[in-house]
Amino acid sequence: MALPQRSNPGAAPGGGQSYREIAERMKKVQEEQRLVVERMRRIPYKVAVLSAKGGVGKSFVTASLAMALATMGKVVGVFDADFHGPSMPLMLGLSQVKGLLARDDGSIVPAVNVYGVRLVSVGLMLPSEEAPVIWRGALKTTAIRQLLAYTDWEGAEYLLIDLPPGTGDEQLTIAQTIPGLTGFLLVTMPSEVSKIVVKKAAAFAQKLNVPLLGIIENMSYFRCPDGSIQYIFGKGAAEEIAKEFNVPLLGQIPIDPRIREATDAGVPFFLEYPDSEAAKVFLEIARKFVEIVESKGGKSNNARGSEQP
Ligand code: ADP
């Protein structure tokens, strides 16, 4: 008996995508991953900034660190992987930029701020600041891979990646897509609830075998006009985490309302208020950060990930 003929011989059973379409998509993904490896190989230091909860100052730390590194003469790129709450355009003084340029060869040109920090953010591509990004996990994974594959970071020595809070798709994709990720930098605040969740983030990094470069505690205290200190959110959490996970505590940044004003204006607060306690603490954190990151040896740390010889 003759078997019934399929009208489309390449079609998968169930009427989904044809095998040919699936194979083509897989080929495209492999090609993009190859480009990611090639581009990332040119950047010696790649650090993802992670926080367990929102509102602890992770984006403020990423933007300030990028500008502090730039003022030290480093070439810095920032990849804003916080698709649902991209704040890097505002904090780096690039909120007026609308859209990213692409060259004829298909490469994406980052926006550059007055300090020379290069930025790629979905926030630069939205029709308005209020427009939401409604993407599922798979789409975010694709966006991360494609933006990393096609962006020309133009000689960046450092790539800082601003991650959304938590330990979900974006964090996993960054850890698995970027070969030789130098490590995670953890930002937290002293509250009990933050402490519990940040421990999950530290355990996540350890499980993925990504080095934890350091922990920064933000909003650690408030210095009153009479010089006394108020521990508004509690005390001692960062020391506890640093000890438990054997991670260096890079510093404890006080609460200072001028930080909010400066970040909203897209200017580095440590240059605006260089005599403030927060600026001094922050610059010491930036110095330690460079020391730790560069001691990892840049490109020689490329053993992990899917990098090809
Ligand atoms: P996250 O990225 O963790 O969600 P943000 O970096 O967006 O948090 O910070 C939340 C808000 O808190 C911002 O307006 C920021 O300017 C402000 N902020 C961050 N750190 C401090 C601080 N130490 N003192 C005062 N305001 C701060």
Q: Percentage helix, strand, coil, to 5, in the chain? A: 40, 15, 40
Report the nearest atom of ligand 1 relative to the CA of 261.
16
Cα radius of gyration (the chain): 21
Note whether 213 and 182 are within 8 A (CB): yes
Nearest CA to 52 among 289, 237, 236? 237
Task: Round the average pLDDT of the chain to a whole number and report it.
Answer: 90
pTM here is 0.90
Q: Where are the domains of the chain?
A: 44-295
pLDDT at residue 194 above 80? yes
- Helix 137-150 vs helix 19-41: angle between axes, to the nearest 10 degrees? 50
- Is 189's C-beta closer than 6 angstroms to any atom of ligand 1? no
136 burial class (0-12, 13-18, 19+ CB within 10 angstroms)? Answer: exposed
Residues counted in the chain: 309
Nearest CA to 177 among 156, 161, 164, 166? 161
Give the pLDDT of residue 10.
Answer: 57
> Best of 263, 280, 282, 285 to mutate for ligand 1, by most ligand atoms within 8 A of CB?
263
Strand 101-102 relative to strand 108-109: parallel, antiparallel, unpaired?
antiparallel
Report the nearest atom of ligand 1 relative to the CA of 262.
16
- pLDDT band (50, 70, 90) for residue 12: low
- Higher-confidence position of 129 and 259: 259
The class level of CATH for 44-295 reads alpha beta
